Structure 1
């Protein structure tokens, strides 16, 4: 992408959702708004031809499929997905048979549908985001539309006959570490603010409010994995360590330690959930000659070795994001080096942004898959499990480590881990227990500024728990933006083949990432306050952005002639770091800052707090090698 953009200003027409109906010659346009109503307008006749008042809350998104004539879908904060066919007369009556999905049946009265998208190459696939951390992918071919059933004062869920969802009609996706009872998430819960399919229809992008942006592969979804001693023991010769989980498990909350863990600087694999690991005496010990590094790692090509050394240098200077970017680049060139994955895991653990500890866990698994006798990778895996408060797994993994590497069991690092894990298990309270479904730590009301302790827990059906238990993990993760202030913030694919990812941010900028490496390549000032919407042109290199300002800006490449672009944010790393702090700040303070008020210490104090909170901060104390 070029570094300079031409900007044009267009006046906003309103705050509604608009979609042209397929096969209407762009003469029919559907709209949805905060008045709960959906309308269809005949542009040529300049009249409204249909008004639907079936929704009982704000209409958030509309969706169409180019190959499905005159049909569109709506998602609203009443938790209902409606399907309309303009060729069929519509009446807002109790007998209207146009409900495709009612999320409330399985999630209770407080569920909200936030976003919706249709796969243009497979229009039977419909993605829905709600006020939780899960993305739901429905197969419309397996769903019959049904009547709309309202909640009443005495019941929290519709009648059983209203449930038109067969068990196999939906696939769930969620980042493997979510939902969590983050101490730093005390001000808000998570909600999907936008979902989008890639141009080839194989990938699904989700902008998760209060967290990061996640990409899921829907054709080859990634299974959650976990450390499993029996699998490890039986496959040592093939360097196997990860086990796919065919059953649901619990995701504990997040906790932290002040002890040194002996990690130095180090793509993404997987790892989570309990599986009842027990140390086995059958694990063959490694001789005392074992080194902490990989024993059989082949040398890196000179170019990749140079990149790794530069990344290690950035790590030593505590420039962890720059180090991660360089490791990403190196892994893109050599994808089978355990050292690169292990080094990147260390950088993730030190940076400690939201989701970094789980990303480090996945890297440790990948490193051990490539080299089962990699001591550092195994110890970091234990530390990651502990930091994620998956303490039982951490203890089991540590016992397996001691059996496998008896000469390392008396090291300071190993003993510190042992003390940390046992202390965490001893002090675990009912509020931090690992019991229950992964979703139960999340509120269903989607509030961004109320304490989880005072929110009603969602009333989740057994079927919902079953769907969540087999949710697939993410493929890629994009960090740097901030998405907490609004619930309409978009993220989209950009480029002729969707080779970039773009998203708006609460700091008034929009961010551009390289999809393959996940590296941030450019940050542009798109608004004086917040950038919410980003839509690429379907056939030319043109991007439209809008936010709080009463304008839409159009961005297109300009020649790289050396002239400075006024709206380019030069230090993208600083912008990303500030956004990560902003995401974990009090929303009231963030709102005041967005309005132009200076809140002393908002961004600076968080860093000091994270460095000094010890056992409560998402920071890992590391000892560089």
Structure 2
């Protein structure tokens, strides 16, 4: 074993073996904005050695941290690097072994394959405008012309390298090139300004699927290609349609076109009787779980097994029932974004039976949790009109109306109380100003997202927030008054650098494509087809989610609680929860062809896992998955941590200026609090 002194002056975030080099060439990317190449054949001896070799190449053209490297199968000459400076660069070893440091007097190298410094989107309907700090990238192993990137907004982007413009320098910002597809769960596509962002994106082994991991959120699976008319592809208009009530015309009940048929199109009488009987038992188990006989988590798992594992064996009636039960269980559990998942189920159930009072009432309750009171009331009134004689439905409708009225009254009182106390003063730290703690209430993990105003050269932010008193336990939270903060932030632009700057950041964020005054045409995005929950991803910025197995049948992710999780890809069922680190597990990588997994985190060890390891795992998961009580405790604890995420109330671009200061000659010094 060898220990290599790389020469990096900051954390190393990524390394890659270069293909077709007998594992002798290794590239590294780090927080010092450099990419370095090492030839391991220069190491001599078989024992542990320190130092030993100098880098074969040093690429210093990035201006911010390099978060991810990518290589192409069969290509020993090129490595790609994704950086928080908003560029993805292509480094060809045949063209040189080094490039000048960004900001130096030497000519800029032309190695930018993707310029996304004006590529971040607030929502699917909005045009790209601000800088997209890249966090991850991947190249398909089966179709290497496909390139996947993710960064500081909620959208992963798929590009065809054959359709990209020629390599460019960073002297001038370019409009973002059109991508083949956007990937984003529908409920995350219209958040406005948010600190929610991607930490990892990757292709499946066969290249047909992609996996996205979000900071402050969950892991999602999506198809790379979907038909143009598929419901998995959506527009910004479809987002609002999902939560809008459409009256039933003339009281006619319209069923799904596959009514009487399972999803595979074969007659119901040809279904597997044993499989159908199993599904009915699982649905009954979910019903009992809803009644409180078991934890609702297990009821949701039973519904997942029916809907994701046996959907071809059930007809529309059982599917409708299972969707409504799962929606009710999700609303009862209230983990992160469970209300959004319940809305999806209610919408699907409504497509099968538009007159379903169960779907309508669950939809109203979910919208009420998300504080979409007007929409919730529309669905509640519709349920009331359809089941005026059902006492249970009527009681739930009245409860929804009372909750809506109470929420609106509380909001009005909060507004008045805030205006009365807006002259109060106390010393605020930078953390108080930049962040707002949303963890005061652990009972519900769903809520409306904050949207901040846009800005250009000057931004004025008005917001009302409660300032948490962190670290002080002798202060009653009820005694903390609301504060009105008014921040005016000016960006000073050097007129001499208005058109171009040596470090590659154009002084004006308005590029030529914004001056064309052509109406922006909103794009479409591909929606999720599976969600994986239980872990926590808020502490670090490099947390991976990976496909496990040669065919990618399983999904794995690290977690902030020192564990790593394995799920069944098809159903989202948790199979294993393993202790992998004393603090945080960031990286989970599967061996390309052997049954070995490597994990690493904050501590100084890399752990190797095999199915026949003599050391027993923390959780013994059989065919039914983990069963020990501490599994649920750990998962619920992680969900509470996700709920308590300190949501940034200033735009990401402003926070980056606090977290990462740029200096002359392209060097920069990250603050200690910078998220890794």
TM-score (norm 2): 0.65
CA displacement at 1:422 relative to structure 2: 7.7
Counterparts of residues 254-333 of structure 1 (less than 5 Å): 272-274=239-241, 282-284=249-251, 301-315=276-290, 316-317=292-293, 319-331=295-307, 332-333=309-310
Could you tell me how far apart the structure 1 residues matched to 2:576 and 2:372 are? 36
Could you tell me how far apart the structure 2 residues matched to 1:10 and 1:527 are? 23
Gap change, CA 1:29 and 1:457, over 3 Å in 2: farther
Could you tell me how far apart the structure 2 residues matched to 1:368 and 1:80 are? 44
CA displacement at 1:512 relative to structure 2: 0.8
Gap change, CA 1:566 and 1:23, over 3 Å in 2: closer
Superposed CA deviations along residues 561-593 of structure 1, whole A, max 9, x for unmatched, are xx95457694322211111112223669xxxxx
**1:23 and 2:23 correspond:** no
CA displacement at 1:114 relative to structure 2: 0.8
Aligned position for 1:34: 31
Counterparts of residues 148-163 of structure 1 (less than 5 Å): 148-149=169-170, 159=173, 162-163=174-175
Aligned position for 1:208: 214
Superposed CA deviations along residues 97-120 of structure 1, whole A, max 9, x for unmatched, are 221222212336654111111111
Could you tell me how far apart the structure 2 residues matched to 1:221 and 1:301 are? 30
Judge conservation of contact 2:214–2:537 (CA < 8 Å) in 1. Answer: yes
CA displacement at 1:25 relative to structure 2: 3.7
Could you tell me how far apart the structure 2 residues matched to 1:36 and 1:475 are? 36
**1:112 and 2:133 correspond:** yes
Judge conservation of contact 2:218–2:532 (CA < 8 Å) in 1. Answer: yes
Superposed CA deviations along residues 25-57 of structure 1, whole A, max 9, x for unmatched, are 433322211111112223334442321111011
Structure 1 stretches lacking a partner, 5+ long: 1-8, 151-157, 226-243, 250-270, 287-293, 432-437, 445-449, 589-625
Structure 2 stretches lacking a partner, 5+ long: 43-52, 101-105, 121-128, 254-258, 263-267, 416-448, 456-466, 469-483, 492-508, 621-625, 648-676
Gap change, CA 1:469 and 1:355, over 3 Å in 2: farther
Match of 2:225 among 205, 212, 219: 219
The alignment partner of 2:331 has SS state of helix
Gap change, CA 1:361 and 1:19, over 3 Å in 2: same
Could you tell me how far apart the structure 2 residues matched to 1:126 and 1:457 are? 36
Could you tell me how far apart the structure 1 residues matched to 2:600 and 2:520 are? 39
Judge conservation of contact 2:583–2:601 (CA < 8 Å) in 1. Answer: yes
Judge conservation of contact 1:189–1:443 (CA < 8 Å) in 2. Answer: no
Counterparts of residues 69-468 of structure 1 (less than 5 Å): 69-89=76-96, 91-92=99-100, 94-107=107-120, 111-149=132-170, 159=173, 162-163=174-175, 165-166=177-178, 169-178=179-188, 189-220=195-226, 247-249=235-237, 272-274=239-241, 282-284=249-251, 301-315=276-290, 316-317=292-293, 319-331=295-307, 332-333=309-310, 334-336=313-315, 337-391=319-373, 393-398=375-380, 401=383, 411-417=394-400
Could you tell me how far apart the structure 1 residues matched to 2:510 and 2:187 are? 19
Gap change, CA 1:384 and 1:565, over 3 Å in 2: closer
Could you tell me how far apart the structure 2 residues matched to 1:245 and 1:31 are? 36
TM-score (norm 1): 0.70
**1:43 and 2:43 correspond:** no
Judge conservation of contact 2:576–2:619 (CA < 8 Å) in 1. Answer: no
Aligned position for 2:528: 474
Judge conservation of contact 1:477–1:518 (CA < 8 Å) in 2. Answer: yes
The alignment partner of 1:194 has SS state of strand
Superposed CA deviations along residues 346-384 of structure 1, whole A, max 9, x for unmatched, are 111111111211111111122223333322012212332
Aligned position for 2:634: 575
CA displacement at 1:385 relative to structure 2: 3.3
**Residue-pair matches, total:** 507
Could you tell me how far apart the structure 2 residues matched to 1:547 and 1:192 are? 18
Judge conservation of contact 2:324–2:358 (CA < 8 Å) in 1. Answer: yes
CA displacement at 1:549 relative to structure 2: 1.5
Aligned position for 2:585: 531
The alignment partner of 2:214 has SS state of strand
Superposed CA deviations along residues 317-369 of structure 1, whole A, max 9, x for unmatched, are 46121111122123323454211111111111111111211111111122223
Superposed CA deviations along residues 245-276 of structure 1, whole A, max 9, x for unmatched, are 86424xxxxxxxxxxxxxxxxxxxxx732589
Could you tell me how far apart the structure 2 residues matched to 1:221 and 1:352 are? 33
Could you tell me how far apart the structure 2 residues matched to 1:65 and 1:307 are? 45
Judge conservation of contact 1:105–1:163 (CA < 8 Å) in 2. Answer: yes
Superposed CA deviations along residues 80-104 of structure 1, whole A, max 9, x for unmatched, are 1111222223643544222122221
Could you tell me how far apart the structure 2 residues matched to 1:122 and 1:572 are? 39
Could you tell me how far apart the structure 1 residues matched to 2:285 and 2:248 are? 42
Could you tell me how far apart the structure 1 residues matched to 2:405 and 2:524 are? 29
Aligned position for 1:3: none
Gap change, CA 1:33 and 1:454, over 3 Å in 2: farther
Match of 1:508 among 538, 551, 562: 562
Q: Which has the higher contact order (CA 8 A, sep 6+)?
A: 1
Could you tell me how far apart the structure 2 residues matched to 1:399 and 1:586 are? 35
Could you tell me how far apart the structure 2 residues matched to 1:508 and 1:37 are? 29
Match of 2:539 among 485, 509, 534: 485
CA displacement at 1:223 relative to structure 2: 8.2
Gap change, CA 1:533 and 1:466, over 3 Å in 2: farther
Could you tell me how far apart the structure 2 residues matched to 1:66 and 1:402 are? 60
**Bigger Rg, structure 1 or 2:** 2
Superposed CA deviations along residues 518-539 of structure 1, whole A, max 9, x for unmatched, are 0111111111111111110011
Gap change, CA 1:190 and 1:364, over 3 Å in 2: same
Judge conservation of contact 2:233–2:526 (CA < 8 Å) in 1. Answer: no
